[in-house]
């Protein structure tokens, strides 16, 4: 593997509605997570959300309007899988998610129709699968998988490590390992084009990278005069166009202009981590989830203006299966 350094320089809320419904959720290996919103995605047409809701280690998958109204239970997790990290297909007709196995760290990749039916497991349950995303053409799924759960330091908590990227063809189900990174951590994979993925990674080299498929080459995104190594803290990359990436940089949201090799802050720090970033091209808006407000999705324009809040609240009662 070779590493090349690319470019970049340093870098409000949708009060729409509160929807409360009562459901029975049943689920597993997210038991260490806080209750509430786990993750979400925005539909390609910008009209709806899908999100997973965790309570007491049990998780359900929901669909709602883009403003959080009219939440509908799609998949009620049972003793077999724990639903998390849902993503839409490019045409908005299908969903991919990780289905964790109760009382283990392993899981499989699953797909379903947007209605929540036609559930299908498309990988085995070996390894620690942490996220999945459709390819741009909708013909395959890319997913991250770790091969160990350990602590590399007496002071550190145990966590998933030894990550690589895999793909699974939706026609035929062939699974291929497409990297040999053995990364300390790896997340937020997105398909860029036929040759590249974009992702964030931690380890000997940390930050946001373009990964060249089939070549095992990482191109790191940074910026001119990065004397304080801000680029090491880049995560959650969103490719807006061929010249601009929006990502988290520690506690701030930044726009990296790769053409002029500069970074600008579009959402300043409020001392809260940025957990999830999504972008809808048709709406021209970003949607983010922050660590201090787990049950809110924040929506804004690309320059950080018109910041609005989308509250997400589900009143769930946990029962035994």
Residues in the chain with pLDDT values less than 70: 1-33, 78-79, 149-160, 227-228, 293, 316-321
Q: Give the per-residue pLDDT at 76.
A: 86
pLDDT value at position 227?
64
Three-state DSSP class for 233?
helix
pLDDT confidence of residue 17: 37
Q: What is the pLDDT of residue 51?
A: 97
C-alpha–C-alpha distance, residues 207 and 256, integer Å:
13
Contacts of 89-93 with C-beta under 8 Å, sequence gap 24+, read: 89/134, 89/138, 90/44, 90/134, 90/136, 90/137, 90/138, 91/44, 91/138, 92/43, 92/44, 92/45
Structurally, the chain folds into a number of domains equal to: 1
* H/E element, 38: strand 36-42
Q: Specify the pLDDT at position 7.
A: 43
Give the domain extent around 145: 2-318
Q: Nearest to residue 277, comparing CAs of 219, 234, 218?
A: 234
Contact 91, 97 (CB under 8 A): no
pLDDT value of residue 264: 94
CATH of the domain at 223: 2.120.10.30
State both tokens at 102.
Answer: 């109760």
pLDDT value of position 151: 60
The whole-number pLDDT of residue 25 equals 42
Specify whether the CB–CB gap between 151 and 159 falls below 8 A: yes
pLDDT in tens, 121-166: 999 998 899 999 999 999 999 999 998 756 666 666 666 678 999 9
Q: What span, in angstroms and rounded, lies between the C-alpha atoms of 309 and 77? A: 27
> What is the Cα–Cα distance from 261 to 256, expressed in whole angstroms?
7
Residue with tokens 């990780």: 98
28-61 residue pLDDT tens: 333 455 789 999 999 999 999 999 998 777 788 9
Look up the pTM and report it.
0.86
């Amino acid at each position: 593997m070779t590493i090349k350094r690319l470019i970049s320089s340093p870098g409000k809320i949708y009060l729409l509605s509160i929807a409360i419904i009562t459901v029975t959720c049943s689920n597993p290996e997210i038991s260490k997570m806080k209750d509430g919103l786990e993750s979400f995605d925005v539909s390609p047409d910008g009209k709806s959300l899908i999100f997973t809701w965790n309570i007491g280690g049990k998780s359900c998958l929901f669909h709602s309007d883009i403003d959080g109204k009219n939440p509908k239970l799609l998949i009620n997790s049972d003793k077999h899988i724990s639903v998390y990290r849902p993503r839409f297909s490019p045409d908005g007709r299908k969903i991919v998610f990780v289905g964790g196995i109760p009382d283990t760290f392993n899981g499989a990749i699953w797909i379903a129709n947007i209605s929540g039916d036609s559930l299908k497991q498309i990988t085995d349950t070996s390894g620690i699968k942490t996220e999945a995303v459709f390819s741009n053409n909708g013909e395959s799924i890319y997913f991250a998988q770790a091969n160990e759960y350990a602590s590399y330091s007496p002071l550190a908590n145990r966590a998933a490590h030894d990550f690589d990227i895999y793909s699974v063809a939706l026609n035929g189900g062939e699974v291929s390992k497409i990297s040999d990174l053995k990364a300390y951590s790896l997340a937020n994979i997105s398909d860029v084009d036929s040759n590249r993925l974009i992702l964030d990674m931690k380890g000997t080299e940390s930050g946001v990278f373009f990964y060249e498929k089939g070549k095992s080459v990482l191109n790191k995104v940074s910026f001119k005069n990065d004397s304080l190594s801000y680029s090491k803290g880049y995560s959650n990359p969103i490719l807006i166009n061929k010249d601009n990436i929006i990502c988290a940089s520690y506690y701030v949201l930044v726009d990296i202009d790769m053409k002029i090799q500069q970074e600008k802050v579009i959402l300043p720090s409020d001392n809260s981590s940025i957990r999830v970033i999504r972008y809808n091209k048709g709406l021209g808006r970003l949607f983010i989830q922050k660590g201090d407000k787990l049950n809110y999705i924040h929506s804004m324009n690309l320059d950080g203006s018109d910041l609005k809040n989308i509250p997400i609240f589900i009143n769930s009662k946990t029962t035994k299966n």
